[in-house]
Chains A and B, each alone.
Chain A
Amino acid sequence: MSTLLQLDNVTIRFGGLTAVSSVSATVNEGELVGLIGPNGAGKTTVFNMVTGVYQPTEGRIAFGGQPTAGLKPFEITERGISRTFQNIRLFPSLSVFDNVRVAFHLHLKHDSVHSLTRGPKFHREEVDLRDRTLELLRIFNLERVQDEPAKSLSYGDQRRLEIIRALATGPKLLLLDEPAAGMNPAEKLELMKLIQFIREKFQLAILLVEHDMKVVMGICQRIHVLEYGRKIAEGTPAEIRSNPAVIAAYLGSAAEGKS
């Protein structure tokens, strides 16, 4: 199994605050890795650095062996990383269908000129894209609401739609930021099954941020643990469960009344 994503001593500071401090971690091809830690530990910030939204202050990130420093977010997506957002960021006024089809952008053969000439090739591609979009929507049973604007979906469906949209970009690595937030235990269970299914079907590596320990322990092969921007542990679910530093971190934050 070869390394897909590699973080080497990555640090980022916002003014005086060091949000992520010298973190090193890897994700291998096809692997399902968990990224956990108390609130404010820096998990989302790691996602933002990996996807090029923020540039690390120090350290190096490489994807497929290539450094990603200086690349714009869309260029990183082009290389095969896609994501969902912790605070859902769909295209609210676009239909469910359009939210997904627009994410096929990187694979389009047509552009502005073809949108005007509208030749037979253009039409064939649009028909093909419609089929592929619907196929993705069916995974989460969302084809029934394909014409609704995304903002009218239930919270859970919006989260599911975000995952589908991310898949449409054709990633090798999918970053999921608390995809089960706000779902009840039954929905969570179903979602996790689907995540496993997606990983096999599309042969993806997945990096998953999730607060529910049961869920994380249940499906991840390996787990990285952050606290206050530092990595405090790494290992299999069994190792993490018995790691004293992790227990302390979670007990500590529980004692402070955080989730």
Chain B
Amino acid sequence: MTELLQQLINGLSLGAIYALIALGYTMVYGVLRFINFAHSDVFMVGAYAGYFLGPKLGAGSIGGGVLTLAGAMAVCAVLGVVIEKLAYRPLRGRSNLTVLITAIGVSLLLQNTGQKIKAVGANPRAFQFPGPDGMTRGLFPETQLHFRSLTISSNQVIVLVVAVVLLAALWWIVHRTRIGTAMRAMSFNATASSLVGINNDAVISFTFALGSALAGAGGVLYAMNYPSIDPLMGTLPGLKAFVAAVLGGIGNLPGAALGGLLIGLVETLVSGTRVSTYRDAIAFAILILILMFRPAGLLGKLRVEKV
């Protein structure tokens, strides 16, 4: 029983990270109807941004950790907007395939330049920061909390708290601000939204900023809990988050959050069994099952293409 509860907590904190990434996929899909392949590498850049900003912003304390997290989010937001401007915007109106290939190009570019830049390098680096005593420490102060035989690391709590705060902020932005309303209008009908005077380009930039910031936060949180980072680290979590977005119903924000949590839970539960070595394959088995039986996802509605 405690075993299961323990797994549940581990699964939730992993799932929360997937949820943060999945939201970016789903938001971009909502407004542009395309899968931003490079999203998983923005996540990776987020982790590195945390790695490099951490020492300057006071990693090791709660304040420093929060600052680092915010810094990484800002870096990713800018990166997302730049990618969209340079690579995707010139292709507006071209075939889906053209944009998809470009996105793959951007993804590979981020991964491979990362490996060739000296400061980053191809080898994994520990996501640890030098402390005043010469010892290394994590981004946030770390302790283990014990409830009977249940162990929860402070990092897991931080992941959950940050995720909840960010989801609440996102909900507020999407439902209570002008730009959020414009986003929803655009994902409902892009032509109509431009007709009623919404600046679609601005909405798209904002969507990329928002989605990339969430991915950046996801990157830092992921690095904290799996304390090593490398330029290819984004691929698998990115793929799983994409599956999460499809599972929840692509284009649907609560769906992405739900999908992320589910994937995280399933994956953690599988890790605890004999077939644990297959845990990376689970997400794709789930993907194929959804595509077969419920292509619109759990919360999504199937759109009818207008002919």
Contacts and interface: CB of A to CB of B under 8 A. Distances in A.
Check whether chain A touches chain B (CB < 8 angstroms): yes
Interface of A: 14, 44, 48, 53-54, 85
B307 interface: yes
B1 interface: no
B304 A14 contact: yes
Interface in B168-209: none
Interface in B207-255: none
Nearest to B188: A15
Interface of B: 304, 307
Contacts of A85: 307
A14 B189 CA distance: 14
A85 B307 CA distance: 8
Nearest to A47: B307
Nearest to B301: A15
Contacts of A54: 304, 307
Contacts of B307: 44, 48, 53-54, 85
A14 B307 CA distance: 13
**Chain B contact surface mostly:** loop
A48 B306 CA distance: 9
A222 to B, nearest CB: 26
Nearest to A48: B307
7 contacts: A14-B304, A44-B307, A48-B307, A53-B307, A54-B304, A54-B307, A85-B307
A14 to B, nearest CB: 6
B304 to A, nearest CB: 6
A254 to B, nearest CB: 23
A137 B252 CA distance: 48
Nearest to A51: B307
A80 to B, nearest CB: 20
Contacts of A48: 307
A32 B304 CA distance: 30
A235 B203 CA distance: 50
A45 B26 CA distance: 29
A48 B307 CA distance: 7
A54 B307 CA distance: 9
A85 B304 CA distance: 17
Nearest to A85: B307
A72 B304 CA distance: 14
Contacts of B304: 14, 54
A44 B304 CA distance: 14
A44 B307 CA distance: 8
Pairs of residues from A and B, 4 with the lowest C-beta to C-beta distance, nearest first = A53-B307, A48-B307, A54-B304, A14-B304
A77 B34 CA distance: 31
B254 to A, nearest CB: 18
B120 to A, nearest CB: 43
Nearest to A44: B307
Nearest to A89: B307
A87 to B, nearest CB: 8
A56 B307 CA distance: 15
Contacts of A14: 304
Nearest to A54: B304
Nearest to B305: A53
A71 to B, nearest CB: 16
A148 to B, nearest CB: 21
Contacts of A44: 307
B156 to A, nearest CB: 41
A77 to B, nearest CB: 14
Nearest to A12: B304
A1 B230 CA distance: 75
A48 B304 CA distance: 11
A230 B202 CA distance: 40
A54 B306 CA distance: 9
B22 to A, nearest CB: 25
A66 B307 CA distance: 25
Contacts of A53: 307
A228 to B, nearest CB: 18
A44 B306 CA distance: 10
A44 B101 CA distance: 34
A91 to B, nearest CB: 14
A120 B273 CA distance: 61
Nearest to A14: B304
A41 B304 CA distance: 18
B273 to A, nearest CB: 41
A28 to B, nearest CB: 26
A85 B305 CA distance: 14
B160 to A, nearest CB: 35
A251 to B, nearest CB: 27
